[in-house]
Amino acid sequence: MPAYQLPKRRRIFLMRHGDVTYFDDSGRTIDPETVPLNANGREQASAAGRVFAGQQVRFDRVIVSGLPRTVETARRVLAETGQHIELEIEPAWQEIRGGKLRQIPLQDLEAAFLGVFDGIVPESTRFLDGETIGELFDRVLPAVAALREDSSWDTALLVLHGGVNRAILSHALTAGGRTFFGHLAQATGCINALDVGSAPRDWVLRAINYSPPSPLHRDIRNTTMEILYAQFIQYTRS
């Protein structure tokens, strides 16, 4: 028998930021560019950090999108692991960008909120009348390729967003493709584990949507966007 060399792969831990509050008590939208973690989100981030600490995971690189909710989540994770790593900012991994809600016709609102995360989504589909899935792939995937081309790291932590995470996970699931699976759940504060080899198609998914405070997601049956749409309708009608 010929000799067999086990493939060498590196680990990407891909997190979604912790929970945030997008509407204030009066129903007004809070700027998603500046919104911080709420109390639940802070606990989710710290809980994730305790999981990494318990498994003695050490990160070589920690990359965030730059939006405050990703920065705060990453810092809380690192506080639990006891690591002092300078956060790297990758703006290409900011969340999928919506348009202006007031410009969307009433009859199109539900599709605008929910369509981009419904099943296998065409690249032409827009999120809240803003960015398309194709445009999301166009900016997210080159940054993924650049990360993989850097040979200096073994274990990287990425703290990003629900839509961006779906793009990366979909890319991995299709071994380097651009099919977008909108129905991949990404709970706030969740952890995904992906291994990458040297070949562009060499992706191995180890864990998806692991949520440390509630690993079985026992009490959650709705998506983030369904909940946000319900809140939006409630405040609009009140």
Q: Give the start-to-end residue ranges of the domains of the chain.
A: 10-237
C-alpha 2/C-alpha 143 separation (Å) is 37
| Number of other residues whose CB lies within 10 A of the CB of residue 49 | 23
Mean of pLDDT values over 118-141: 95
Q: Residue 81: which residues within 8 A CB-CB, separation 6 or more?
A: 49, 52, 53, 57, 58, 59
pLDDT in tens, 21-56: 887 766 677 778 889 999 999 999 999 999 999 999
C-alpha 178/C-alpha 217 separation (Å) is 28
Q: What pLDDT is recorded for position 185?
A: 95
C-alpha 80/C-alpha 45 separation (Å) is 9
Phi, psi torsion values for 15, nearest 5 degrees: -110, 155
Mean of pLDDT values over 141-167: 98
114 pLDDT above the threshold of 80: yes
pLDDT in tens, 1-13: 889 999 999 999 9
Which CATH topology does 10-237 take? Rossmann fold (3.40.50)
Per the structure block, which two tokens stand in for 70? 């990703």
Q: Which helix (H) or strand (E) holds 54?
A: helix 39-54
Residue 46 · residue 80 · CB < 8 Å: yes
The answer to which of 91-105, 135-149, 185-199 has the lowest mean pLDDT is: 91-105
What is the chain's alpha carbon radius of gyration, rounded to the nearest angstrom? Answer: 18
Q: What pLDDT is recorded for position 238?
A: 58
